[in-house]
Structure 1
Amino acid sequence: MSATEVPQASVPGPRQGSLADGRTSPALTLLAIGDYPTGAFTVPDMLDVSGTRVRIRRARNLTEAERLLKDDVNCILLDLDLAGETGLDLDSLRHVLRLAPRTAVLVLTSSGETDAERAAEAVRIGAQDYLTRDELDPSHLTRAIRYAVERKRADLAQRQLAETRLLAQENARLERGLLPVPLLAGAEDWLTFASHYRPGRSRALLGGDFYDTVRTPDGTVHAMIGDVCGHGPDEAALGVELRIAWRALTLAGLSGTVLLSTLQQVLEHERADDEIFATLCALDIAPDGRTADLYLAGHPSPLLSHPGELPRLLPYEHGGPALGLLADADWDGERIELGEAWSLMLYTDGLIEGHIGEGTQRLGQDGMVRLMAAHLAAGLRGEELLDAAVTEVRDLNGGELTDDVALVLLDRGQTAPAPDRP
């Protein structure tokens, strides 16, 4: 018997391997491609000393291999002497790697120096290991198959981890690009800006909520926050489009009903479905910071607080419908007296629609007012205040909020002591 033949007495017929403790070892499936492996493997499976059963599937060429390559194949053994199909022998390996990118691959070569160099090149291209014809015995082959399968699993896991880290880095950069940077040049000496954003969809970059703040050349500070109904990527994209449109229109000099009507036209043109709508809260703060014009399109009213007083919702009687609901809608503004020192919080309904405990009761606007009053009394300001508020709302909900949450905080010289906890 030559050294290249598989000893028949050492190759049992098909059966599951039994481990020492009586458990059945998992079976592996090998697809052997080439004339030589086909001649060597004359039985349907092998069993090594560890109890691992290796089922053998044979293919004479790459065409037949494509037909036999199923999801249950754990490893491919490719004879690099496979000739006449793709020209260069390593082209056959590249073809197999494209066909089965998640399957372990072993290559079979002769034992000469040239063949060793070719085998090393095969590993560099993507094979897990190589065997020489002198090593083609059941014990050596089954061990090589097990190691190749585990090595491929480790490579795939490592690659997935690297891709996950890269995706997280790209997402962070993309999120920074999509979320707005306030344009408040000239107002930094009297106005402080803070924001908080948390999408409701798991692993999402952005949700349907959007916000922005800009100062126009006349000294007016324009702030807005909005919410596109729904939670999918289309809604998130529409939110970004509306935010960019709002900034462009505001810097172009539009405001009030004219601005909201134009935004509605943008929404109607860009939305994927006629039933999609968006709520919006817009504020135009006068250059002296003492008054503001408030516009609400189906959106919750902002929260206003003054030094030494409990926070309260801004009263509003002339709100209009959400954008996209009525073709001929109108939105009348309402003049709000702010005073000398104040803090304004704009928010989306994701903050107030979380549950309280295990029942069906929701936080609501009244609960939010009490919650914010407590955090103000504790001396929290800026982003620290917003982060603490969202954290408490999430805790009250008993877990992550399912809706998007966006918050904008505008603070004008609030230096007096905060009110006592209610």
Structure 2
Amino acid sequence: MTANLSETLTLLLLEDDDGDAFLVEELLQQAVAPPKIFRARSLQEAKAKLTSKIQCVLVDLSLPDASRLEALEEVLALAPHAAVLVLTGLRDVHVGVAAVQAGAQDYLVKQDIDARLLARSIRYAMERKRADQTQLRLVQAELIAKENARMQRGLLPVALLHTNAIEHTTRYLPGSGGTLAGDFLDAVQTPDGAVHIVVGDVCGHGPDEAALGVAMRIAWRTLVLAGQTDDTLLRTLDALLRAERKAPEIFTTLCMATISPDLRYARMRVVGHPPPVLVRDGAVEVVADTPSGPPLGIFPDAEWSVIDVPLGEEWSMMLYTDGLIEAAVGEHNELLGVEGLVDLVRRHGAIDLDRLIRHVGTLSDDLAVVLVSRRRE
């Protein structure tokens, strides 16, 4: 009866004995779809043939240049994508068991091999390898999710606000890739009653950028609590960024606002960042068409101007990262942009973060938003 290998495989036979190799090759030719077989007589010869095209490896543990499990360990390291079957003699069954414990999918005793057993063992080994890889991907996804959650806790701190006179709302959403970037936000109220808010964005995506975003956020909070809220704060953040970034092209944009203790005025610095949106006395406007200065990490002698904004009795102000205005909207998937964001707020009549995010749909980049509002008493 012919063996049942239902798919054409690319297989490497690592066997130094010509007689044993001939037997295995003859048995494999009886399969419904005979595999494409490469032969290696030594571990050294196998190293050149263990490419990504090899789907399965049959390994004899009695090789001239490797002792027992050494050959298996080398194969597993060189071809982690391939299923591995170990060939043993009658006296080495215990070695076959040890090989499975070391990472092989199965072992076969040479004297017991026939066409059906060989084909079935290869097929089962392939399925076990697929199952192992699926499980590994699930574990890796779980670890990434836990790491993202840990990073997100650092990027989304509990606001240090001691007043009920304003409403404070935040949202943080990862982009379509699902991986956290370096967006960060924070809000702190100092003993004089002033409320300090920041939203920032470290360029790039990945754990390094997310970790740098956490560092920038913690440094900002520390400096604010220490009474540094002006250009000294920005210069310190700039120095921190240069010291901690992985590459010189990494920069950070941010927008920070200091709201006066009576909540009627704000002093802002827009550091290469999208401008905040302000709803004041029913009118929707962009706070600053021109930034205060360049992003952090670009010019060592940069300076940033202050933007003074009267707020009045009743107002809402939204600080956000560019993930919001770079979202695709409408039938033609056009970028929302700052003007589109302002128009959207006007149509809604107020800034409703959940409604706003539902309208923009899928985000291509991370989104961090802080909304602070004061209602007329």
Partner-residue secondary structure (3-state), 1:42:
helix
Partner-residue secondary structure (3-state), 2:35:
strand
Match of 1:219 among 190, 193, 196: 193
Contact 1:280 1:322 in 2 (8 A): no
The Cα RMSD (Å) is 3.8
CA pair 315-84 structure 1, distance change in 2 beyond 3 A: closer
Contact 2:52 2:81 in 1 (8 A): no
Structure 2 match to 1:184? 160
CA pair 346-125 structure 1, distance change in 2 beyond 3 A: same
1:389 CA drift (Å): 0.7
Q: Does 1:250 align with 2:224?
A: yes
Partner Cα distance (1:300, 1:70) in 2: 48
1:253 CA drift (Å): 0.9
Q: How many residues align?
A: 373
Contact 2:180 2:366 in 1 (8 A): no
Structure 2 match to 1:282? 256
The structure with the greater share of residues assigned to strand is: 2
Contact 2:257 2:267 in 1 (8 A): yes
Contact 1:303 1:346 in 2 (8 A): yes
Question: Please, what TM-score do these two structures have when normalized by structure 1?
Answer: 0.73
Structure 2 match to 1:14? none
CA pair 266-141 structure 1, distance change in 2 beyond 3 A: closer
Partner Cα distance (1:317, 1:206) in 2: 26
Instruction: Report matched runs for 1:331-410 at 5 Å.
Output: 331-339=305-313, 341-357=314-330, 362-375=335-348, 385-394=352-361, 400-410=362-372
Structure 1 match to 2:87? 108
Match of 2:267 among 281, 293, 297: 293
Residues 161-205 of structure 1, C-alpha deviations (whole Å, 9 max, x = no match): 22222222222222222x041442423x33332212235472321
Match of 2:180 among 198, 202, 205: 205
CA pair 313-239 structure 1, distance change in 2 beyond 3 A: farther
Structure 1 match to 2:143? 166
Contact 1:201 1:231 in 2 (8 A): no
Structure 2 match to 1:312? 284
Partner Cα distance (1:194, 1:141) in 2: 64
Structure 2 match to 1:3? none
CA pair 311-239 structure 1, distance change in 2 beyond 3 A: farther
Partner-residue secondary structure (3-state), 1:157:
helix
Partner-residue secondary structure (3-state), 1:408:
strand
Partner Cα distance (1:275, 1:84) in 2: 52
Contact 2:329 2:359 in 1 (8 A): no
Question: Please, what TM-score do these two structures have when normalized by structure 2?
Answer: 0.80
Residues 270-323 of structure 1, C-alpha deviations (whole Å, 9 max, x = no match): 6677776554322212223333323334444433346xx535226559863223
Structure 2 match to 1:76? 57
Match of 2:118 among 118, 121, 141: 141
Partner Cα distance (1:328, 1:128) in 2: 60
Partner Cα distance (1:271, 1:204) in 2: 19
CA pair 223-67 structure 1, distance change in 2 beyond 3 A: closer
Q: Which amino acid aligns with 2:357?
A: V
Percent identity (aligned) = 41
Contact 2:276 2:288 in 1 (8 A): no
Q: Which amino acid aligns with 1:76?
A: V
Partner Cα distance (1:220, 1:105) in 2: 66
Structure 2 match to 1:127? 104
Give ranges in structure 1 of 5+ residues lacking alignment.
Answer: 1-9, 12-16, 395-399, 417-422
CA pair 260-25 structure 1, distance change in 2 beyond 3 A: closer
Structure 2 match to 1:157? 134
Match of 1:93 among 52, 56, 72: 72
Contact 1:347 1:405 in 2 (8 A): yes
Match of 2:21 among 32, 41, 48: 41
Contact 1:304 1:314 in 2 (8 A): yes
Structure 2 match to 1:194? 169
Give ranges in structure 2 of 5+ residues lacking alignment.
Answer: none
Contact 1:291 1:335 in 2 (8 A): yes
Report which of the two structures shows the higher radius of gyration computed on alpha carbons: 1
Contact 2:267 2:306 in 1 (8 A): no
Contact 1:32 1:56 in 2 (8 A): no
